[in-house]
Amino acid sequence: MTHANAPLNIEERRRLVERCRSRPIAHVAAEVGVSRACLSKSKWKNRSGTYGEVGLRDRSSVPHSSPTRTPPEVVERIEQLRLDNKWSARRIALELADQGAQISERTVGRWLAPLCINHRRFLDPNGSTDRPRRSGSWPASRVTWSTWTSTRSDAATAVAFFNRARAFFTAHGIHWIVRVVTDSGANYRAAAFVHSLISRASRHQRTKPYTPRHNGKVEGYQRILAEELLYARQRTSESERARAIAVCRTGWRGLIGGAPVRTVWRSHDE
């Protein structure tokens, strides 16, 4: 298929080839604004003489062979592991490595998109996405607290979460908060949340919009929590997911040293 700015379509190529039979190629090329090589023996005139009408059609740019392409049986295994277990690309890569197929996590992730199974909403029968939840992490000890939240995303919900998180960390011996890092959502920019936070912490730092890596520890924890626990298997209700997160004891070994995350989780249904 020719692109929108292509100077020559199939019919125009046919006419130019006919004109080149009685006129110099250089003159015809200059009239239509293309190079001489485009009409000469290296392109359309040569193809028309060799293949006829078929030679004027566009050719596919796909290479004839791809020696490093992922084998079809490995692609089928990726699809099977994703559909059966809802595993993340990282865990699928680890499982394939245990089975003798060396493939990178990035390659697995690239195959999930054309297979239309790269989002969890494509895997759940009802097509639902993650229910909103919030997490707070203490970097020094990596103690993390998560809770389900309502679909509302206003200042009152953010203040309530901050107060519950502060009470949780206080119960674990963390009595003084120096800095709080949040995203740049409207609920975290609201005056009610800022006043509540400043009264208990000396600094409020907001990450750059659409840049989750600036708060990487919590974002990584959120993704592991969703892909390796909450949505890794079929659950009948949101309350069941809430119970799973309530009794789960987690560590950070899945992010350090490459240890499989499956050795970390201990939940009520294992």
**Residues 251-270 pLDDT 10s:** 434 444 444 433 333 333 33
- pLDDT at residue 50, as a whole number: 78
* Residue corresponding to tokens 């197929």: 101
pLDDT digits (tens, 9 = 90+) for 14-36: 887 888 878 887 888 787 777 77
Residues contacting 35, CB < 8 A, separation 6+: 29
For residues 254 and 270, what is the distance between their CA atoms, to the nearest angstrom? 18
Q: Are 256 and 220 contained in the same domain?
A: yes
- Total domains in the fold of the chain: 3
Residues contacting 39, CB < 8 A, separation 6+: 16, 17, 20, 25, 28, 29, 45
Instruction: Report yes or no on 134 lying in a domain.
Output: yes
Instruction: Report yes or no on 196 lying in a domain.
Output: no
Q: Are 168 and 227 contained in the same domain?
A: yes
Buried/exposed code over 136-152 (b: 16+ C-beta within 10 A; e: otherwise): bbbeeeeebbbbeeeee
Note the residue count of the chain: 270
What torsion, rounded to 10 degrees, do the Cα atoms 139, 142, 146, 151 define? 30
Instruction: Report yes or no on 139 lying in a domain.
Output: yes
Task: Say which residue, 205 or 247, is predicted with more confidence.
Answer: 205
Give Cα 106 distance to the centre of its chain: 10
Q: Are 148 and 95 contained in the same domain?
A: no
Instruction: Report yes or no on 62 lying in a domain.
Output: no
Give the CA distances from residue 174 to residues 51, 168, 223, in Å, rounded to whole numbers and listed in that order. 78, 9, 25
Give the residue-averaged pLDDT of 85-114: 91
Q: Are the C-beta atoms of residues 221 and 144 closer than 8 Å to each other?
A: yes
From 41-50, 134-143, 202-211, the region with the lowest mean pLDDT: 134-143
The pTM (predicted TM-score) of the whole model is: 0.52
- pLDDT at residue 140, as a whole number: 61
For residues 13 and 8, what is the distance between their CA atoms, to the nearest angstrom? 6
The boundaries of the domain holding residue 109 are 71-128
pLDDT digits (tens, 9 = 90+) for 46-94: 777 777 878 777 778 888 888 888 999 999 999 999 988 888 888 899 9
For residues 230 and 117, what is the distance between their CA atoms, to the nearest angstrom? 17
- Residue 166: CB atoms within 10 A of its CB come to 20
